[in-house]
Amino acid sequence: MPLMNHDNALTAGHDRRRFLAYFSAIGLGGTLLPGVLWARAVGGEEITVATIACAEEIAGLRFSEEQRQQMVEGLRSQESQIEQLHAIKLENSVAPAVIFDPVPPGATLDLPAKHPSVHSRVAARAVPANLEELAFLPVTELAELVRRRKVTSMQLTEMYLGRIKRYDPVLKAVITVTEERARRQAAAADAEIARGKYRGPLHGIPWGAKDLLAVKDYKTTWGAGPYRDQIIDADATVVQRLDAAGAVLIAKLTLGELAQGDIWFGGTTKNPWNLAQGSSGSSAGPASAAAAGLVGFAIGTETLGSISSPSTRNGVTGLRPTFGRVPRTGAMALSWTMDKIGPIARSVEDCALVLEAIHGPDNLDRTVKDIPFSWDATLKATTLRVGYNKAAFELPERNDKNQLQHGTKRFDDAALDVLRKLGVRLIPVELPEMPYGAMRLVLTAEGAAAFDELTRSGRDRELVQQTPRDWANTFRTARFIPAVDYVNANRARTLAMQKWHTLFQTVDVIVTPTNVGAQLTATNLTGHPAVIVPSGFRDTSETDATQVPVSLTFLGGLYQEAKLLAVAKAWQDATDFHLKHPVVKV
């Protein structure tokens, strides 16, 4: 159908949509162009002043007729540039030339010094006749049993493999069992330990990897149908480092497709505390498997809540390290400036032990800095400045209309009481206020770029999740983000980073309700680390007596995980929520 003039275009719905389609990727090519390619595929029309006029609505601009005429030639030239870019094969592993650094300009950090790690002393435990009684032990206790050769790595591996086979048909937390690799690693670990070569607390401990980490000779599916047969011929850096620590990889665990939610191409990963619920995501499998005793620990990732949310839902402990702590080489990219890799386990110290093994530069992920992390289990929380998110804690459970606004208030208040009883002097702090939701444009634009070919090829139709809030539609919508606004979102992010840096000059650690306020979005944008710990259990509803976990979050300064973990450990040691585990009915 031929183009209509501007006035008619504004009133004719079908053609107006075609005009708008010209600029469906407004920002990725500069000013107003890349969607032209989509439109040409649909109708083949040239860019004219009429299409520019329609596109102005999306860009939030208004040009004169003369200005539109001047723009035509430049936009046609940009079309050629975009066509050339689309001819380049860009694998997901190719990172942008621009590198994000969470340290704001001019800031100085009191960086941790390198010193020998100090681990907790663990009492010897008798080995039960039924090895499955060990399934829910933290790594600290499993490691002591292995080190003392009271139990072998092979015995633990076979026990966990058996539990996967029994419980995973219900939980759907596993995509691939790496059985052959696991037995080979367990045998090697036992042989080394028998010779007196003990590599440390992860030696011989079975673990699971979120299936966006590449493992040679095994599928790496990213939880998504279009990639369900993908094999990446290399091990991710994190996998290599855990191999070097002697850990035993037994399974590749589920993630919501392309790191969203808990629905993947094989179904919905379940919360072992309540099988009527999904596990939340996107580290759905790591959290569910850790909670259900299918692995000793797991590795998850977070871009905007993907460790925090499933750790909360499944009642496990999650660590989201500082952005730039852990190399992402070999991991699926969703957002190059926000993706982070961290452990999901059964205790705070477990997370510290895993971070010891996986942190530090690999000379491939250029965001990672050579900053020491030395765990000290004896560091006292009372020696640190601990703030609490005053506004969030003081928010009433319900507002004046009886609407729930702080559903975990009684648990959060009780958590503060625990810290006070430990002798921690709590300092009230106000979190910086910024339009963090608007800055989420960064994530959606980068995600759309990471999966540009999936959208342009139309293979996004193969994704299971197809609602307006799911990636397939989000990636299409993101193509309307002007490049100028993507850059300005990052400039606003700089201001947020500066404000949070100033806040962490006054305290070392901040305790906050997990799901009240904007802390989750804010700190994922600024790159600050967080520890999420189970803090109680509540009924799922007034009519359902099933109890599910709730959580508490501790936030730390950039690269200050040692202090952050010390406070979280002190709180966790004074409670017993992390020692409870679900009973999965099969």
The Cβ of residue 126 has, within 10 Å, a number of other Cβ atoms equal to 7
> Residue type at 449?
A
Domain contains 79: yes
Q: Is residue 32 part of a domain?
A: yes
Q: Which residues contact 384 (CB under 8 A, 6 or more apart)?
A: 508, 509, 563, 566, 567
pLDDT lower than 50: segments of the chain: 1-44
Looking at the DSSP assignment, which residues form a beta bridge with residue 249?
207
Q: What is the CA radius of gyration of the chain?
A: 25
DSSP string, 55-80: HHHHHT----HHHHHHHHHHHHHHHH
Give, for 304, the enclosing helix (H) or strand (E).
none
Candidate list 172, 210, 270, 409, residue with the active-site label: 210
Q: How far apart are CA 207 and CA 186, in angstroms?
A: 11
| Predicted local distance difference test score (pLDDT) of residue 542 | 62
> What torsion do the CA atoms of 514, 136, 344, 513 make, to the nearest 10 degrees?
10
210 tagged catalytic: yes
How far is Cα 309 from Cα 284, in angstroms, rounded to an integer?
9
Residue 302 to residue 351: CA distance in whole angstroms: 15
Read off the pTM: 0.92
Q: In this predicted structure, what is the pLDDT of residue 63?
A: 94
Contact between residue 123 and residue 137 where contact means Cβ atoms under 8 Å apart: no
Beta strands in 424-569 (DSSP E): 426-429, 509-513, 530-539, 547-556
CB atoms under 10 Å from CB of 399, counted, come to 11
Extended beta strands in 254-295, E state = 263-264, 267-268, 270-271, 274-278
Pairing of strands 270-271, 386-389: unpaired
**Given 3-state DSSP classes, what are the helix, strand and coil percentages for the chain, each rounded to the nearest 5?**
40, 15, 45
Is 348 a domain residue?
Answer: no
> Which whole-number Å values give the CA distances from 308 to 342, 526, 582, in the listed order?
11, 16, 19
**Hey, CA dihedral for 290, 294, 299, 303, is it positive or negative?**
negative
Burial per residue of 59-77, b for 16 or more beta-carbon CB atoms within 10 angstroms, e otherwise = beeebeeeebeebeeebee
Q: How is residue 31 written in tokens?
A: 């000013």
pLDDT value for 29: 36
Q: Is 217 left (phi over 0), alpha (psi -120 to 50) or beta?
A: left
Torsion angle, alpha carbons of 8, 10, 13, 14, to 10: 60
Question: Is residue 51 in a domain?
Answer: yes
Amino acid at 158: E
Among the options 279, 306, 311, 335, which is catalytic? Answer: 306
In a domain, 45, yes or no: yes
Active-site residue, from 24, 279, 282, 288: 282
- Tell me if 426 is assigned to some domain: no
- pLDDT tens, residue by residue, 354-384: 999 999 999 999 999 999 999 999 999 999 9
Annotated active-site residue 270? The verdict is no
Nearest to 339 by CA among 30, 89, 92: 92
Q: What pLDDT shows up at residue 7?
A: 35
Report the b/e string of 269-279 with b at 16+ CB within 10 A: bbbbbbeebbb
Query: Structural domain of residue 76, as residue ranges?
Result: 1-88
Asked whether residue 6 is assigned to any structural domain, the reply reads yes
Written as six digits, the tokens of 151 are: 């139990």
Q: Is 26 part of a structural domain of the chain?
A: yes
Residue 113, pLDDT score: 86
Q: Where are the beta strands (DSSP E) in 273-367?
A: 274-278, 297-302, 317-320, 340-345
Detail the DSSP E strand segments found in 377-517: 386-389, 426-429, 509-513
Compute the distance between CA of residue 156 and CA of residue 146 in angstroms, rounded to an integer: 9
SS3 at position 321: coil
What is the SS3 assignment for 441?
helix
How far is 270 from 254, CA to CA, in rounded Å? 11
Count up the domains in the chain and report the number.
1
CA–CA separation, 30 vs 46, rounded Å?
A: 18
Q: Say whether 288 is catalytic.
A: no
3-state secondary structure of 248: strand
Residue 214 neighbours by CB distance under 10 Å: 25
Burial of 173 (0-12, 13-18, 19+ CB in 10 A): buried
> What is the model's pLDDT at position 288?
98
